[in-house]
A and B are shown apart, each in its own frame.
Chain A
Amino acid sequence: MVDEEEQKEYRWETGYEKTWEAIKEDDDGFLEASVADIIQRAKRKRQAQKQGNSKLGMMRHLYVILDCSDSMSSQDLKPTRLLCTVKIMENFIEEFFDQNPISQMGIIIMHNKRAEKISDLAGNARKHIKAINNLKQTSLIGEPSLQNSLEMALRALKLLPSHASREILVVMGSLTTCDPGDINTTILNLKSEGVRCSVIGLAAEVHVCRRLANETGGLYNVILDDCHFKDLLYQQVDPPPAALTLESNLIKMGFPHQMSVEGTEEPLTMCMCHVDSTDEGSKLNTGGYYCPQCYSKYCELPVECRACGLTLVSAPHLARSYHHLFPAANYDEITYENQTVICFACQKNFSETDKQVYRCPNCTKIFCINCDIFVHDILHTCPGCATNLSTFQIAHNTTQ
């Protein structure tokens, strides 16, 4: 979850900013309003960019390509670029699977002009986090090769069915890429295969990255500091609009059930997820999810059945993915002129300091800024609309 309230790190750790230049006195010579204004604007910025009403690629297949070259040892992010990236990446992976439960992710690192896959496409956050954590020990050597790693990701993404959205996210610390061939042909291939490539640069704008992102319809951003880095990375959590080439398909999914016969203990079995994994080992246990097609047991959902290939999900997972399709309407910012005494959601009393309040366009209830952000980032349902049947339907009809 994007914790907007989380404190930025200590003042002396951030870059040298002339914050005082951004602050202007208001008419009465007070500064407070100006400061509050800056904070508010930053908070609302991201959600204002969200738009409903578009077809989204919900079954995401994302390859994260991490730069592990020499340049990642630079200390402009604390403690080093790599450690900072790993830390932020961990949270990102969790957040990603939380928001996109039926999606899959894989991780590739690039170092010493080679690409190396450290975890395959899979829907399991824990595995990826473990792989990422292991990176802390890798030695950072040589230059990265963007082309090699893109090719590696493309080979895996190519095989996916046509309804799946294919994405690549590159985190690039280096300003150079050492490629064996012409990277432009790779970019064209990615484009024709409909792979959306986004790049986050850690140092400065590199032309080829800009080109890669522009050609394939992704985003290219360069970080300012670690907070900005986090923001940029978390942008990737929301599913992108579906590419035009993406087909709409009906997908066969299985909803596993538990095999419990009343009165009897469940038999001890091994789960398929761990049956051949060496490091964790499979244990006999009761409970688990059984594929409705072939009765293989899994201890975690969502997962693709190893035996019959069925995608296994639980109903709440699908429901969670739903909010991307039916987002709560963006609230309008209005100046506070005693429209109402309290925030509809948290019942807080509005006071002098609240210059702006927020109104839902459907139910016209008034909210404070914190509730506005909470509703759009976490709840995904407007409490005003949800408590009123008629407006609830409006909300859903308009967004469909």
Chain B
Amino acid sequence: MRVNVKGLEVLFPYDYIYPEQYRYMVELKLNLDASQHCLLEMPSGTGKTATILSLFVAYQRANPNTGKLIYCSRTVPEIEKALAELKKLLAYYDKENEKLVSFLGIGLSSRRKLCIHPEVSVSGDGATVDSNCRKLTASWVRAAAEKSSHVPLCNFYEDFERIGKQSPMPSGVYTLEDIKNFGRDHGYCPYFLARYNMAFANVIIYSYHYLLDPKISELVSKELAKESVVVFDEAHNIDNVCIESLSVDISKKTLENSLRSLSKLTEKLSRIKSQDADRLRNEYMRLLEGLKEANINRATDIHMANPVLPDQVLEEAVPGNIRQAEHFIAFLRRFVEYLKTKLDAVERIESHNPKSFLLYLRTEVYIERKPLRFCSERLGSLLRTLELANLDDFTSLGLVTMFATLVGTYDSGFSLIIEPYDDRTPTIRNPILHFSCMDASIAIKPIFDRFRSVVVTSGTLSPLSMYPKILKFKCGSMRSFPMTLSRQSILPMIVTKGDDQLAVSSKFDERADIGVIRNYGLLLIELCKVVPDGIVCFFVSYYYMESIVASWSEHGLLQQILRYKLVFIETQDRAETSLALENYQLACKNGRGAVLFSVARGKVSEGVDFHHECGRAVIMFGIPYVYTENRILRARLDYLRHEFFIEENDFLTFDAMRHAAQCVGRVLRSKTDYGIMIFADKRYSRMDKREKLPLWMQEHLKRNTNLATQDVVNASKVFLRDMAQPFTLVAKKTCQKSLAWDCDSIRRGSVADPECGALAVTRQSSRGRSIS
């Protein structure tokens, strides 16, 4: 259908459009017009991706000087889904006989996902594939191959370099599988093909990390045009992604590895020195000139800024004491040794800020701040000069230099904590240095600065006002769009007490209370009796889960659960968890029914969808506050209070509530789906917690805010019976009349959105004949 969005004709590849999708489009269009950033919340399962893509493609068509759409999502399946959606849209454009002049949509993923080389592609995990690929495709390897024919090369890459670069890819949308097939057919390397063609693509769909992680973004994304629009989908955790991308953990092992790499470098260096001294001299000259080229590029806006490559580095030449390769290696060795002694010496937990750490460095080992700043860049240059293909040997060293650069660059926003042992194993000495970023805005700043519009969107972003603060950007508009449902397909409830009227809570001083544990157990048993197929339970931490499950088992509650459902548990082991998950889904599908115990913030809560039978109910036991005794968190909280004036409690509650919403939100993945959402803690019923839930959940909460177990069971029974009634054609028709707008009703002007005014839509049949 065709929708008129404030004067822009948008082709939407479905027959119906939901009101919230239309509102979303209007909001997005206004923001694109104004070139500002925005924050939009819309529940999952309402077709967010289709909405964004169809609006953008239409917008780009109307305004040809709009840049690309850079659509970032979290996981590979989500990327695939977005690509499929884009493909559908393009097919619809074709069907409607609307020509798009050379439209290219590309998905990008890692080499591991895209490689078609017969040997490299089967070599296992991501890092191995990367390094195997580099061994065949690095520039010096290829130069060597020109001299002797014995050096193996990747034919796909060679063909791509020779022929593939000349001819542009035919327009269309390439999913990851499509681009692999295209590569196979033409003999081109799909990975480099995708990367090369990003420059010409209209829509790029890839993972966050390609944009946020400074190491990857330097390689992949720095040339993206300034006029582009960036969308972060599923962005409720974006601050953590930003922080992680700039945080470094250095353990003894990292340092050992670094020292080993340094020896390797020395060895290689002396060999080269005897054979090819010119090469080193050239490098020296280059370094003397400084990174002028990069500076020019950045100044003229060709390249995106990189937080690990600070401006000072670009303006100055590399300092003399690390310009010579030997000197640099010696410098690094000194730095690594210093860190090592520091780690060895630590008795109690030490906490520094970057400034004090620099002071120590200067007084104890005479390392100045300036050369530190250049470390990361200098190492890259050295590795290039020495023509080392096997880069994964140097990951540890890379980490250390990244740490060096960061600590030399930023005075604030980071904290340095050295712990003598792990929290979980307080008896085993395992010193570790956490250099953690506390300011999410550092990593994301270049993106907000560079691109004309950045859209941050997700199903659960509430409370919205927190994001502009912690990401430090000027937000053009913040909106939360409620979902229109043809039936009440979610049943959120807040359980505050058990049947014995004893309040339940995961509050630290109450959680060990046997009465609370028993009430939680009874709640689960009662629900197991009335809820079919799958139930997912989220606990606040692994530790809490283990203790409560142990207690249930001791008191025979677990045995009662087992009569109705099988029990699966998420553990910290990835393989174990995925096995449990697989069998959980099997048990849900074959009618035995199952309960999955998992942990908020765990793998399950983030990436796994429990649609339809796999999740008929979700129980959130307690409020998933982050572990507040963690020093890194404490440092971050202090920082937030000083820099952003965000009260500690506000941030903790915000963080806990978004995770709780994220957990229970796993249950509803489409409009035909339904599920029960239970928040089991008395604290949820307080207004300050409740109002931080996404609007679409609050709407359905109604009066179910202070229930006991039995009330929940009764409400669930009725709800499940209602939901099991056929979603018949008749019902669909009537609901679509009122909830979704088809073209005719919009054209007739019979639906008027109070906010957007009456809509005017022109519609043509697929044959181009207009129906009046």
Contact = CB atoms under 8 A, between A and B. Distances in A.
A221 B531 contact: no
A262 B529 CA distance: 68
Interface in B585-607: 588-593
Contact of B721 (A176, A177, A224): A224
B612 interface: yes
A175 B531 contact: yes
Interface residues of B, number: 26
A76 B718 CA distance: 11
A288 interface: no
B466 interface: no
A206 B590 contact: no
Contacts of A182: 590
Q: By CB atoms of chain B within 10 A, which of A182, A204, A206 has the most?
A: A204
Nearest to A204: B720
A224 B725 contact: yes
A203 interface: yes
Interface string A1-37: 0000000000000011000000000000000000000
Contacts of A16: 718
A175 B720 CA distance: 12
B717 interface: yes
Contact of A204 (B532, B591, B612, B726): B532
A203 B590 contact: no
A203 B721 contact: yes
A175 B590 contact: no
A222 interface: yes
A208 B717 contact: no
Given A76-B717, A224-B725, A207 B592 contact: no
B563 interface: yes
Interface string B559-583: 0000111000000000000000000
Contacts of A223: 721
Contact of B532 (A178, A203, A211): A203
B563 A207 contact: no
A183 B532 contact: no
Nearest to B719: A204
B20 interface: no
Nearest to A187: B590
Contacts of A76: 717
Interface string B702-735: 0000000000000001101111111000000000
A184 B530 contact: no
Contacts of B681: none
A183 B590 contact: yes
Q: By CB atoms of chain B within 10 A, which of A76, A207, A224 has the most?
A: A207
A338 to B, nearest CB: 30
Contact of B593 (A175, A205, A211, A222): A175
Interface in A175-223: 175-179, 182-184, 201, 203-209, 211, 221-223
A15 B564 CA distance: 25
B592 A204 contact: no
A395 interface: no
A203 B530 contact: yes
B588 A222 contact: no
Given A204-B720, A207-B613, A179 B530 contact: no
Given A15-B718, A204-B532, A224-B725, A184 B593 contact: no
B726 A203 contact: no
B530 A204 contact: yes
A146 interface: yes
B567 to A, nearest CB: 13
A222 B591 contact: no
14 contacts: A175-B564, A184-B590, A203-B720, A204-B532, A204-B717, A205-B720, A207-B532, A207-B588, A208-B591, A211-B589, A221-B724, A222-B724, A222-B725, A224-B725
Interface of A: 15-16, 71, 76, 143, 146, 175-179, 182-184, 201, 203-209, 211, 221-224
Interface of B: 529-533, 563-565, 588-593, 612-613, 616, 717-718, 720-726
5 shortest interchain CB distances as A-B pairs: A208-B591, A207-B613, A222-B724, A204-B720, A205-B724
